[in-house]
Amino acid sequence: MDKYSIVKRTEEFAPPQTAEEWDCSGWIVETNKKEVSRIMLALTVTDDIINQAKKQNCDMIISHHPMFFVPESYKNIDIYCAHTNMDIAEGGTTDSLIEELESLGLPVTEKITKENSFVRYVKTNISKTNLLNILSKISPNFRYTDKNLSEHFKMLAFCAGSGTEFIKEAFENGADGFITGDLKFHTALESKIPVFDIGHFESEIQVLEVFKNLIGDKVEIIKAQEESPFKVFGI
């Protein structure tokens, strides 16, 4: 299949012009090979992912995270990424997290997307205990703050990946809880609403299914073997 037609599907869904200015979404490596038959999907391109792709005879890697430096040894395979444009796209990274949580039992009465925002809002009616149990199914070792932690939640805000900068926005829009990853100490300490850090990897890995659906069934798709770099002592 023509690799450019695959990329076109992705860019129609998550237009490159919607990416943040600092972002490097798009072609990371673009070889002169046009046709691809096997694609590896990965959250992050690493030496291990490159080796996996080579061993499984993949012609191309599509990732969520960009690369700001490309080693010479990576330059013989096509690599394309959709990062912040996929984050902000309707049905993209954060929406795929919410859909996964819905499938695990999160009750959703309404989904709200603010214009030009990476944050998604969900109207719900869920107890603290049930919310914690559902989050633990995605991230067994997640952490959270208990300041102003209510027994029931009516509106939750979500930002997959690192959403630290959006906590104030979530609070001002009426959320009574914020779910993201990569929270910093002082940000969590100062938050006026409880925040749930389910991990960067755990909050974003669902987006690979979005890429898979966009690519379709004209090529073979292989999901890379990936896991969070963080380990929990004793487990």
Please state the domain extents for the chain. 3-86+205-223, 90-204
Q: What is the predicted pLDDT for the residue at 94? A: 98
Q: What's 136-152 look like in SS3?
A: HHHCCCCEECCCCCCCE
Give the mean pLDDT of 10-36.
97
- Per-residue pLDDT band for 233 (boundaries 50, 70, 90) equals confident
- The DSSP symbol for 11 reads H
Task: Please report which confidence band the pLDDT of residue 31 belongs to, taking 50, 70 and 90 as the band edges.
Answer: very high
Residue 94: alpha-carbon gap to chain centroid: 6
Q: What is the pLDDT of residue 227?
A: 95
Q: Is the pLDDT of residue 4 over 70?
A: yes
Read off φ and ψ for residue 152, nearest 5 degrees. -135, 150
The pLDDT of residue 150:
86
Confidence tier at 235 by pLDDT (50, 70, 90): low
CATH number of 90-204: 3.40.1390.30
Which pLDDT score, from 0 to 100, does residue 137 have? 97
CA distance 26 to 136: 33
Q: Say which residue, 150 or 76, is predicted with more confidence.
A: 76
Question: Which candidate, 26, 160, 6, 190, places its Cα nearest to that of 98?
Answer: 160
CB 125 within 8 A of CB 154: yes
Residue-level pLDDT at 47: 97
Q: Residue 160, SS3?
A: strand
Percent of the chain with pLDDT over 70: 99
Class of domain 3-86+205-223: alpha beta
**Entry pTM:** 0.95
Q: Is residue 92 predicted with pLDDT exceeding 80?
A: yes
Q: What's residue 108's pLDDT?
A: 97
The beta strand positions in the chain, using DSSP E, are 26-29, 38-42, 60-63, 78-81, 110-113, 120-127, 143-144, 152-162, 177-181, 195-197, 220-223
DSSP three-state, residue 166 = helix
Q: Give 168-212 pLDDT, tens digit per residue.
A: 999 999 999 999 999 999 999 999 999 999 999 999 999 999 999
- Percent of the chain past pLDDT 90, that is, above it, reads 94
d(CA 25, CA 118): 16
Distance CA 31, CA 136 (A): 41
Q: What is the mean pLDDT of residues 87-91?
A: 97
Q: Which one-letter amino acid corresponds to residue 23?
A: D
Amino acid, res. 39: I
44/66 Cα distance (integer angstroms): 7
How many Å apart are CA 235 and CA 172, to the nearest integer? 38
